[in-house]
A and B are shown apart, each in its own frame.
Chain A
């Protein structure tokens, strides 16, 4: 092997850093969409590396459904303080109060889809022209055709049939006023890449990712955490289980797996042999075969 060969994680890191620097150079007002999940944490870590020794030149934007894991919120506030970046919060509750969004009818409303209105309003209010997200192409089939620089029209919509071709490493971020881009520096990363990188770089992540005891119910083939936002039916009996979460979203839609993986090494091993995709426990993706594609067209993450 030649001495001038990068290991795959180093090459992915270099590509992501290049993309983040392009965002800084090509846009006037970019932000990082920060959910407190592992992917947005890795994006933020990469941004720290890309602009070192300067501070991250982007604010973090959190679209807050109000249905949060308390651990995620505590983690968010700590990272904001550590990095000395600005935090901007868009509240789904405010969109509901103002009549802009309507809570889903029924017993167990999910606020997942409602994030789109709040996100688009936040983008418009702060006039962001680029929103950096942690989405990866291996996550979901609609995402496998995403560009690194993904154009959104003035309504924030994605047009999958008319995407700009993306060749070599030349990124076209040209846009008119009112339009914006979603930028995905982790496009070429897979779930296992993200975990191996978190391990390699010793990146801090919320405790929810590690196996822990929690009160849960069995719903739709996964362990859903009991919280004030989840109404139980008669047959659902809360149990104590040792679980961990592979992805973090709304507390009402994020199911956990039974697991003993309480260290990063164990998580990497668990993910490496897993036979299920990480989104298999996400209620938002189970609704229909094209639910991600449909939500993305509307302006979802």
Chain B
């Protein structure tokens, strides 16, 4: 493939409410990287005028739907884009209130990095913990704690250090290894894109520099080979009469022609004959590439099957332990059957057991009340109608995640991470 542009893609999520300056921070990042267009700014100025505001309210840039603008809140996940010569960034901007846990989880599901904002005047509060716990549950590899509004505490190092210490004593319970702390003022731009002259005591990087330089090369699993088959490509035309390719997106590991593979769940073994793309055959392919594989043997392989290395296989499981986030106001029913989707495969599932509800503010495990409602996170046990080929979510976010769908309304009800 091309080397035309030497930029990588980083997906990050921000969670927070209007008060902690999240919209201002995003506005600042977009503004200082020159990602806001004049006509967008004009529109914001016009809306600000209509609302009787003296200055352009940059947070209006991040509002989407009519209801959100009228109420001045974020309801749904909004995606925003900006780029520097080094990286292209996708922001999943999510509301921070507890009733929007489901949106935070959605935004976090594809993120390499989470930005958590703390108001320097208020320190670590319940919402901070909630965001960090969700980032940890969703296994976001990098966490950046932005201690914002430093201008309101006179840019004092003490304030920063105290909050950092408080957060560290709480985060020792979390499953996140890469945590960084940056003192910023989103309003004035200190340490966002440009270094602050008012906080010479801070020797670390600015937020943008950090985002540009996080090591994301190992965020994908490049060890355990997993290739869920999406569809079979059979052109049935000259010169491809014998072409039978398995199309999919690599979920883990590195595949090479000649590799010995096993097709699951059937267990047949074969070798990779070639890895094809429109641009030609490849010498190797890795996550998250979309490719088409040909095998040396004529096997019966179809959607939902998985090609893996013979000496490294996922579990074949009908009883699955997961952490679930309930996304819908329709609560689970004890004997309800759900459609379960996992990679490219699909089955039916029932909830066999609710082990506990997790308090997303404190990590407390509640075993007294096990009634799951919307926005709850719970550990449950599922029983599926056919075995699924699973990895632990910690090991692989693609082969370790599932969603539950209502059989009759077809709504997505829940998202789960396999333990």
Chain A interface (Cβ within 8 Å of chain B)?
1-2, 4-15, 17-18, 21-22, 24-25, 48-55, 137-138, 141-142, 144-145, 160-161, 163-170, 172, 174-176, 187-188, 190, 192-193, 196, 199-201, 274-277, 280, 289-290, 293
In the complex with contacts A190-B83, A196-B4, A168-B398 CB distance below 8 A: yes
Chain B interface (Cβ within 8 Å of chain A)?
1-9, 37-40, 43, 47, 63-67, 69, 75-81, 83, 87-88, 90, 102-103, 105-106, 109-110, 216-218, 220, 222, 230-231, 233-237, 240, 243, 247-249, 254, 276-279, 286-290, 292, 303, 327, 339, 341-344, 397-398, 401-403, 405, 410-412, 415
A2, B217: Cβ atoms under 8 Å? yes
In the complex with contacts A8-B9, A293-B66, A274-B37 CB distance below 8 A: yes
B288, A277: Cβ atoms under 8 Å? no
> Which residues on A sit within 8 Å (CB–CB) of B79?
137, 144-145, 187-188
Complex Cα spacing A50 to B43, Å = 39
B8, A52: Cβ atoms under 8 Å? no
> Which residues on B sit within 8 Å (CB–CB) of A25?
230-231, 303, 344
> Which residues on B sit within 8 Å (CB–CB) of A174?
339, 405, 410
In the complex with contacts A18-B230, A49-B278, A7-B405 CB distance below 8 A: no
> Which residues on B sit within 8 Å (CB–CB) of A196?
4-5
Complex Cα spacing A175 to B406, Å = 11
Which A residue sits closest to B74, measured CB to CB? A145
In the complex with contacts A21-B230, A138-B81, A145-B64 CB distance below 8 A: yes
- Partner of B243 from the list A5, A24, A53 (CB cut-off 8 Å) is A53
> Which residues on B sit within 8 Å (CB–CB) of A166?
106, 412
Number of A-B contacts (CB under 8 A): 191
Complex Cα spacing A168 to B399, Å = 10
Which A residue sits closest to B401, measured CB to CB? A168
A142, B39: Cβ atoms under 8 Å? no
> Which residues on B sit within 8 Å (CB–CB) of A274?
37
| Nearest CB in chain B: distance from A74 CB, A | 25
> Which residues on A sit within 8 Å (CB–CB) of B289?
6, 10, 14
B4, A199: Cβ atoms under 8 Å? yes
B77, A145: Cβ atoms under 8 Å? yes
- Partner of A1 from the list B38, B64, B81, B217 (CB cut-off 8 Å) is B217
- Partner of A167 from the list B65, B106, B216 (CB cut-off 8 Å) is B106
In the complex with contacts A8-B8, A145-B77, A161-B67, A172-B410 CB distance below 8 A: yes
Complex Cα spacing A271 to B90, Å = 19
- Partner of A21 from the list B40, B277, B290 (CB cut-off 8 Å) is B290
Complex Cα spacing A50 to B286, Å = 17
B401, A144: Cβ atoms under 8 Å? no
Complex Cα spacing A21 to B232, Å = 10
In the complex with contacts A48-B278, A174-B339, A165-B43 CB distance below 8 A: no
| Nearest CB in chain B: distance from A284 CB, A | 14
9 more contacts with CB within 8 A, not counting A6-B9, A15-B288, are A11-B9, A14-B290, A21-B248, A21-B290, A54-B233, A144-B64, A164-B412, A169-B249, A276-B37
Complex Cα spacing A175 to B290, Å = 26
In the complex with contacts A196-B5, A293-B66, A170-B401 CB distance below 8 A: yes
Which B residue sits closest to A160, measured CB to CB? B65
Which A residue sits closest to B82, measured CB to CB? A190
- Partner of B231 from the list A7, A21, A164 (CB cut-off 8 Å) is A21
In the complex with contacts A25-B344, A52-B278, A280-B401 CB distance below 8 A: no
Query: Which 3 A-B residue pairings sit nearest by Cβ, starting from the closest?
Result: A2-B217, A174-B410, A49-B278
Residue in B247, B290, B401 whose Cβ sees the most chain A Cβ within 10 Å:
B290
In the complex with contacts A21-B230, A188-B79, A192-B83, A141-B105 CB distance below 8 A: no
| Nearest CB in chain B: distance from A82 CB, A | 15
A9, B5: Cβ atoms under 8 Å? yes
| Nearest CB in chain A: distance from B238 CB, A | 10
| Nearest CB in chain B: distance from A279 CB, A | 8
> Which residues on A sit within 8 Å (CB–CB) of B290?
13-15, 17-18, 21, 50
> Which residues on A sit within 8 Å (CB–CB) of B412?
164-166, 172
- Partner of A276 from the list B38, B67, B87, B240 (CB cut-off 8 Å) is B38
| Nearest CB in chain B: distance from A162 CB, A | 9
Complex Cα spacing A200 to B77, Å = 31
A141, B64: Cβ atoms under 8 Å? yes
Complex Cα spacing A1 to B218, Å = 10
> Which residues on B sit within 8 Å (CB–CB) of A14?
249, 288-290
> Which residues on B sit within 8 Å (CB–CB) of A164?
411-412
Which A residue sits closest to B90, measured CB to CB? A188
Which A residue sits closest to B342, measured CB to CB? A170
In the complex with contacts A25-B231, A144-B64, A172-B410, A11-B76 CB distance below 8 A: no
13 contacts between A and B (CB under 8 A): A7-B4, A8-B87, A9-B4, A50-B290, A53-B235, A141-B64, A145-B76, A166-B106, A169-B110, A172-B403, A172-B410, A276-B39, A289-B47
